[in-house]
Amino acid sequence: EAGVTQFPSHSVIEKGQTVTLRCDPISGHDNLYWYRRVMGKEIKFLLHFVKESKQDESGMPNNRFLAERTGGTYSTLKVQPAELEDSGVYFCASSLAYKGTARNEQYFGPGTRLTVT
Amino acid sequence: TQLLEQSPQFLSIQEGENLTVYCNSSSVFSSLQWYRQEPGEGPVLLVTVVTGGEVKKLKRLTFQFGDARKDSSLHITAAQPGDTGLYLCASRPYAGGTSYGKLTFGQGTILTVHP
């Protein structure tokens, strides 16, 4: 069974440009999460989809970030326009459920390393 | 927002030594998870502890959850070079009877085991 995949693995863009990150969750996982780790800091939550709906977007830093999950399958995270402080590793995770303690294990992708110069 | 303090940040030891990593919070955890992350990969779940005082073992790894559910530890016995990696603790918010999916992570402990 394929795990969570993310594309691209690396992206280097200039300040002011636009970048779109893609995440393909494990097949059948309704829950999809985006996290980010900036250098020297802990991994931080960005948002949580249940199918195509945004369940929790409390971690989105500002309106330059737009996440979508049309059809409830893969998700994209667009940063427009990118700023220097957006550099970091963006992780996607998916899970079967999110409540309780069963079936809510989150499986992480390998991440996309974004560098804004 | 619950903050997790993880210590130490760095740990460099020789093969065969024992070590303990700590994860603490001023708030009560609903549950606490330990992850391991290797370079170029995402975090991989090792264990989830839920009940205060709980102890779980995974081969040479022992995980403890504090009685008050505000702290947890990961103990590795007879460390091996293959244990090298980033160890992360994470918790899931639980408020007013509602569970949330998002995870809050500690900063992580970078463990290096020298042969």
Among B1, B69, B103, the residue to mutate for chain A (most A Cβ within 10 A): B103
What share of chain A has pLDDT > 70, as a percent?
96
Where is B11: in which H helix or E strand? strand B10-14
pLDDT per residue over A103-115, tens digit each? 688 999 999 999 9
Containing structural domain, residue A70: 5-99+108-116
Give chain B's domains with CATH numbers: 5-114 (2.60.40.10)
**Chain B: closest CA distance from residue A53 (Å):** 14
> Is the separation of the CB atoms in A104 and A98 below 8 Å?
yes
Choose among B50, B92, B105: nearest Cβ to A42: B105
CATH number of the domain that residue A65 is part of: 2.60.40.10
pLDDT tens-digit map of B71-101: 999 999 999 999 999 999 998 876 665 667 8
pLDDT over 90 at B109, yes or no = yes
Please tell me the distance from the alpha carbon of residue A66 to that of residue B56, in angstroms, as a whole number.
Answer: 40
Angle at B101 between CA B96 and CA B103, to 5 degrees: 100
Cα(B21)–Cα(B81) distance, integer angstroms = 17
pLDDT at B50: 85
Count of the separate structural domains present in chain A: 1
Minimum distance, in Å, between the CA of residue B85 and any CA atom of chain A: 15
Interface contacts (A, B; CB < 8 Å): 62
What's the rounded mean pLDDT across residues A9-34?
Answer: 97
- The 10s digit of each residue's pLDDT in A45-90 is 999 999 999 999 999 999 999 999 988 899 999 999 999 999 999 9
**pLDDT, position A2:** 82
Distances (CA, A) of B88 to A24, A70, B24, B102: 24, 31, 12, 15
Query: What pLDDT is recorded for position A70?
Result: 86
* pLDDT tops 90 at residue B31: no
Residue contact B88–A43, C-beta within 8 A: yes
Of the partner residues A99, A101, A107, the one whose CB lies closest to the CB of residue B48: A101
Residues 82-101 of chain A with CB under 8 A from chain B are 91, 93, 95, 98-101
